[in-house]
Amino acid sequence: MLAWYAATGRPLAFRATTDPYAVLVSECMAQQTQAERAAAAWTAWMARWPTAGDLAAASAADVLRAWAGLGYNRRALALHRAAKAIVADHGGAVPRDLEALQALPGVGPYTARAVAAIAFGRPVGAVDTNVRRVLGRIAAGGPEAFTPTELQALADGVVPVDHAASWTHALMDVGARLCAPGKPRCGECPAATWCRHAAGERPAAADAPSKGSARRRAEPAFPATTRWLRGRVLDRARDAPDGDWIPYAGPIGTHSATAVREAVLALADEGLLEAREDRDGLAARLPG
């Protein structure tokens, strides 16, 4: 696995550093975002805010503008709050301890372990959906064979002690490039010789759907979703001059004025916008 990664690993910009703050930023950006897109955003972000102290001193509005295109904008505010906590509670240095890492705003078990492994070389397994699938298939034919606690123990137990960062990247690359949910490319996988899934084994739980399982409903087209609307509402605020109040009086796309109003108020409740309502109607702007 390590040899395969050394020869074929994706040359993503953020993989060239083990700086803990830089790693934290990259992991927050790469969640549910295409790795190449996250890498481009990470490069610009690090040029603007190279330390946690620099980010902590930035305005929330500037942070949200810099996050444009990455989606899941609450992650931007969480990272901003994490930078403030790093400055206030840890003297500006990202903590090494797993418990302290996980106590940072927006940092869960996966991100804490990824930072610990990549930045500090700690032999802990960062388990996301891809890694869960890869390890579950190798060890038992599929992740269904394990409880989350068992899978985490497996992930922690197989990390090469002296190669925690490379191992973390290798597993992520195998999951993203080869071990697809539907049609894994087992013939190209460096773990195929030892993989029970490649050998045809499957956990009993994965053999057939349970009785009465409902067929999944078709997903609506993306422009019809609330997520799309929220993104457009926030983009209008991003594109406005700093501090200007933007009116939200009519429909956006196929979404009614009522749906737009609900989206604006929900974003304000989450801290992603500031909203006000007066005789001229509803208006919002990025938080200061």
Give the model confidence (pLDDT) of 118-140 as tens digits. Answer: 999 999 999 999 999 999 999 99
Say what the pLDDT of residue 269 is.
Answer: 92
Active site residue 27: yes
In this structure, whether the domain defined by 19-120 belongs to CATH 1.10.340.30 is answered with yes
* Statement: residue 214 has pLDDT above 60: no
pLDDT over 90 (residue 227)? no
Show the tokens assigned to 178. 């080869």
Q: Which CATH class is domain 222-285?
A: mainly alpha
CATH topology of 19-120 equal to that of 129-203?
A: no
Q: Measure the CA–CA gap between 204 and 227, rounded to whole angstroms.
A: 36
Residue 217 pLDDT greater than 60, yes or no: no
CA distances from residue 148 to 34, 98, 133, 154 in whole angstroms, order as listed? 25, 18, 12, 10
User: In this model, does residue 189 exceed pLDDT 90?
Assistant: yes
Average pLDDT of the segment spanning 264-279: 92
Q: What is the pLDDT of residue 220?
A: 64
Q: How confident is the model at residue 288 (pLDDT cuts 50, 70, 90)?
A: confident
Q: For the segment 248-260, what is each residue's pLDDT rounded down to a tens digit?
A: 989 999 999 999 9
Can you give the residue ranges of every domain in the chain? 19-120, 129-203, 222-285
**The residue type at 249:** A
Architecture of the domain defined by 129-203: Orthogonal Bundle (1.10)
Please check the confidence at residue 221 and state whether its pLDDT lies above 80.
no
Mean pLDDT of the chain: 91
Confidence tier at 173 by pLDDT (50, 70, 90): very high
Q: What percent of the chain has pLDDT over 90?
A: 81
What confidence tier does 205 reach under pLDDT thresholds 50, 70, 90? low
pLDDT for 34: 87
pLDDT tens digits, 4-31: 999 999 999 999 999 999 999 999 999 8
Q: Of 27, 99, 150, 188, which residue is the catalytic one?
A: 27
Element (H, E) at 281: strand 281-285
